[in-house]
Structure 1
Amino acid sequence: MNNMLDYELTLFDRINVIRDTIKKYGEENFYISFSGGKDSTILHHLIDMAIPENKIPRVFINTGIEYKAIVDFVQSLAENDPRIVMVKPSRPIIKVLEEYGYPFKSKEHSCKLHEWQLGHHAPSIISYRDKERYGCPKILKYQFEEGFNMNISHFCCHKLKKEPAKKWQKENHKSIVITGMMRAEGGQRNTLSCILTNRSGKVIKFHPLAVIDKEWEDEFIQRNNIQLCSLYYPPFNFKRTGCKGCPFALKLQEQLDIMEELLPTEKAQCEIIWKPVYDEYRRIGYRLKKENS
C-alpha cells in the first residue's frame, strides 16, 4: 500500500469493530459463511486475530460445483480446525437446474426473465426489458419474445447455497452470519453496510470487510503469511473462485480457457452442467466465443 499508516489504522479499526460487535451480540450467535476463497480466508484469520480462541463455526457449503482445489483446501483446514463445518445441499445441481431453470447473464436478468416467463409483466420488468442503459442488453432482448423456450431463473444460488445455510443456521441456533463481502466488489455491494438488520431491527448479517479494498487484503496476506487455495497462485492465478463455470461470470471465456489447459476434467464437467446456457452464449456470441469463430 502507498501508506502503511492507512493499513495499520484500518487493521486497528476492523479488529475493534469485530471485537465490539461479537461481544455486543454474543459469540454463540455467530457463524462465518466460509467459501474457501480469498475473502473468506482473510475473514477467518482476521476474526482469530480479533478474538483469539473463538469457537465461531466456519460453514462451507459444498454445492457440488466448487473447484476441487477449493474443496481440498477446506478439507485440509478442517483436519486441524474443528470449527470448519462442511454442509451439502439436499439436491444435486442438475436436479435444481431442471426444476427451477438456468442462470443467464446475471441475477437481475435471470430474475426479471423468470418472472416474465411466469406471465408477470410488472412495470419494473418492462422497464428492464426496454431500457437502453442499465437494462437488458440489446443482444438479449429476444429472450422476452415468443419462441425463446429455455427456462431461466435466479434460484440456483438460493437452492444450493442459501437454503442449506439457513437450514444449518436454524438447526444450530445461530442468528447472525458473518460474511467476507466488500463494497469494492462493486455492483449492488457498493452501498454495503457493516451491519444488516431485518425489519424488526434484529441484526442478521455482519460484514466486517465491507470497507476493505483488494490492496489492503494483499498487504494483510503478505504481512501475516496467509496461505490461500492453490488456485490463487501460478499457474492458475485466479482472481475469484466461486462456483466453477457459473454463467454469471463476466470473464467466463477466460475462465474456461484456463480450465481447458489446466483443469480439463472440471472444464468438461462445466460443459455438461451448463450446456444449454453455454450453447446459447456461443450461438449469439455473448460471453463465449461465437460458434465457428
Structure 2
Amino acid sequence: MSFQDIAIELKKPLDYKIQKAIEAIASGFAVNKHTAAIAFSGGKDSTVLWHLIRTYFPEKTVEIIYGNTGVEFPESLSFARKVGKEWGGEHFHETKLSRTKEEGLKYKAQREVLDWLIQEGRIGEVLKADGKLKSTRTLESKATPEMWEDFRTRKLIWPKDTPMSYWWCCDQYGFPILGKAASKLDARRINIDCFLQFSESASNKEELLQYYDVLKECKFSQHCCKLLKKDPSERMQTELDVDVIFKGLMASESRTRRTNFATRGYLYKSHRDHLGDDPFYHCNPLQIWTDDDIWEYIRLFDVPYAPLYDITWTDSKGVEHKIPRNGCFGCATDILFRDNHLEALRHTHPSQYKALMNYGMDEQLKKLFYARGSGTDTIKGVFEDPEGFLGGQTNLFDLVREKIDRRSIDDEYDPEFPDKVSHECLGEEDNP
C-alpha cells in the first residue's frame, strides 16, 4: 500500500473503518494458535480497540497486558485499573519493572571513579584497546572499599533489587529528551563518556562531530522506552505464551507508523523465542483511523475513557488546550514542538513537573539549549531564575523553539519501531 492509498483510506467514513478493523482482528485470530493479547495503555486508542474486540468477538478469550511504566499519569493509571477489573477480570495483567541483580553506583559516583582513575594514570585498566569502556561493572570494581563506603554514606549507591525505574534509567542512561534521531547511542552514560573522551573510533563527519558536541554536554537517552515498556511487556507475553498481540497503533500518528503500515499491512509476522518455530504476529486493526474517528466511536457507543483527556489548560494567549495523548509524564521527546508533554505537564500536573525538574531534567535541558547554540541572554535569564523556570512564569518552550534548528530532529519517538542501535559500539553492556 502506498502513502497515497493510505491518505485515501484515512478519509473514509467511520463505518468503513470499523469494518476494516473487524476484518483485521479476524485475521489476527485466524493465525492464533497459542494466546491472543491486547497491548493496553489506558489510552483512548487501545480502549477503543478492546471495545471492538469485546463487541464483535465476545467468544474469544484475550489476555490484557497493561504496560505500567511507573510514570503513568494518575488519571490514566486509575482508569486502566478500573476498566481492567470491569472488562478483563482475571485476564487483566499489569507489567512489572525489572530489578537490579546487585548493588551498583549512581552516575555521579561512576564519574568520580572514572576521574580518579584518570588522575591516577590507571584509566587503561578499564578501557578496551580502542579506548572504549570494557563495561560499567569493570569500572565500578576499581573503586576502593573506602570509596564504596563514602558513596554509601552519600547515598550514591543503587542497592541490589532496586526497581529499574524511570528515575534509575535517567541516572544511568539519561533523560528522554528529543526524538530517536537524536539518540543514536544506547548505552549507559558512563560508557558514552568514555567513548567520547577516549575512543579512537571518532568520525570525521561534520554532522556526527556536532552531534557528539551536544552529547558531551547533555545527558539524554531513549533507553527508558525499552526498559519501562518494551521489555516488561515482552516478558509478560512470554509468561502468557502470547503469539498474537493486538495494538491500537494508527498510521496517522507519525511518519514511522505510516511507513510500517505501507510495508507490512494490518498483520505481520515476527519471532519470539518462547514460541520455538511458531511465528509471532503483530496485529494493528486501527491503522486507517484518526483521532477524530476514535472520539466519534467513543461518543457513538458510549465507550469509557481516561479522565486525563478532559483536563484543560490555558496558554499565555488565552487559548485553551487539552492533553492529546496519555503516556509517561516524564517524556520530553517532543520538546521542540508546540503542545509538547512538558508544556502541558507544567500546567496540568505541577507536582510531577517539579519532580522532573528537581531530579535533573532542568539541568539537562539547560545544557542542551546551550550546546545547540541557544545561550541567549533571555534564555540564560530563565535558567538563572529557578523559581521562574519551575513555576512556569516564563514560557521557556516558546523561547527555545525560536533558537533551536529542529530540522535534524525526528518528528517523534516511536517505541514500537525503534532504530536498531548496537551496544557493542560503546563497549560490553552489563546485565544489571
TM-score band, normalised by the shorter chain?
0.7 to 0.9
Give the distance between the partners of 2:167 and 2:311, measured in 1 at CA: 31
Contact 1:32 1:177 in 2 (8 A): yes
Q: Quickly say closer, same or farther: Cα 1:151–1:207, change in 2 above 3 A.
A: same
- Separation of aligned partners in 1, 2:305 and 2:285: 19
Preserved contact between residue 30 and residue 177 of structure 1 (Cα < 8 Å) = yes
For residues 200 and 352 of structure 2, the distance between their equivalents in structure 1, rounded to whole angstroms, comes to: 37
- Counterparts of 2:38 and 2:366 in 1: how far apart (Å)? 37
Task: Measure how far apart 1:121 and its partner are.
Answer: 6.0
Q: 1:170 to 1:5 in 2, by over 3 A?
A: closer
TM-score by length of 2: 0.56
Q: Does the 8 Å CA contact 2:40/2:65 hold for their aligned counterparts?
A: yes
| 1:86-97 superposed matches below 5 A | 86-90=94-98, 91-97=164-170
Amino acid at match of 1:277: Q
Aligned to 1:133: none
Alpha-carbon distance in 2 for matches of 1:97, 1:183: 30
Matched AA of 2:330 = G
Partner SS, residue 216 of structure 2? coil
Q: Deviations over 1:153-186 (max 9, x none)?
A: 3211001111111111112211222111111012
Match of 1:220 among 281, 284, 297: 297
| Higher relative contact order, chain-length normalized (CA < 8 Å, sep 6+) | 2
2:228 equivalent to 1:160 = yes
Distance 1:157 1:52, change over 3 A: same
**Does structure 1 retain, via aligned residues, the 8 Å contact 2:24–2:266?**
no
Which secondary structure state, in structure 2, belongs to the residue aligned with residue 245 of structure 1?
coil
* 2:181 pairs with one of 108, 117, 131: 108
CA-CA distance at 1:249 after TM superposition: 2.2
What's the CA shift for 1:253? Answer: 6.5
Distance 1:36 1:210 in 2: 18
2:115 corresponds in structure 1 to none
Alignment RMSD: 3.3
1:72-105 deviation line (CA, Å, top 9, x unaligned)? 1112113323132111212121222222333331
Q: Please, which of 174, 177, 181 is the counterpart of residue 242 of structure 2?
A: 174
Alpha-carbon offset, residue 239 of structure 1: 0.8
- Find 1:245's aligned residue among 285, 309, 330: 330
Shift of 1:40: 0.9
Query: Highest Rg: 1 or 2?
Result: 2
Aligned residues: 276
1:84 equivalent in structure 2: 92
* Unmatched 5+ stretches in structure 2: 1-9, 99-163, 272-276, 314-321, 383-432
Q: 1:221, CA displacement in angstroms?
A: 1.2
1:62 to 2:68 alignment: yes
TM-superposed deviation, 1:223? 0.8
Q: 1:264 to 1:195 in 2, by over 3 A?
A: same
- Which 10-residue stretch deviates more, 94-103 or 226-235? 94-103
Structure 2: which amino acid aligns with 1:270?
L
Could you give the per-residue CA deviations for residues 121-160 of structure 1, whole angstroms, max 9, x where no partner exists? 699x95xx63xxxxx8xxxx74423882444432110011
Q: Residue 19 of structure 1 aligns to which amino acid in structure 2?
A: A
CA contact (8 A) 1:247 1:277 kept: no
Q: Secondary structure at the match of 1:227?
A: coil
What secondary structure does 1:167 align onto? helix
Letter in 2 for 1:49: T
SS of residue in 2 equivalent to 1:256: helix
Moved more, 193-202 or 177-186: 193-202
For residues 57 and 279 of structure 1, the distance between their equivalents in structure 2, rounded to whole angstroms, comes to: 44
Give the TM-score, by structure 1 length.
0.80
Find the counterpart in structure 1 of residue 266 from structure 2: 194
Counterpart CA distance in 2 for 1:5 and 1:107 is 31
Taking the aligned partners of 1:147 and 1:46, their CA distance within structure 2 comes to: 44
Q: Which residue, out of 28, 36, 58, partners 1:30?
A: 36
Q: 1:55 to 1:146 in 2, by over 3 A?
A: closer
Query: Percent identity between the aligned chains?
Result: 21
User: CA 1:279/1:149 → structure 2, altered by over 3 Å: closer, same or farther?
Assistant: closer
| Residue ranges of structure 1 left out of the alignment (5+ in a row) | 131-135
Deviations 1:5-46 (A, max 9, x none): 8321221221122123213324x4221111111111111111
Out of 189-198 and 17-26, give the one that drifted further. 17-26
Q: Distance in 2 between matches of 1:23 and 1:44?
A: 18
State the alpha-carbon separation in 2 of the partners of residues 259 and 146 from structure 1. 25
- Structure 1 residues 55, 20: closer, same or farther in 2, change over 3 A? same
More divergent stretch after superposition (185-194 vs 31-40): 185-194
Change (3 A) 1:114 1:85: closer
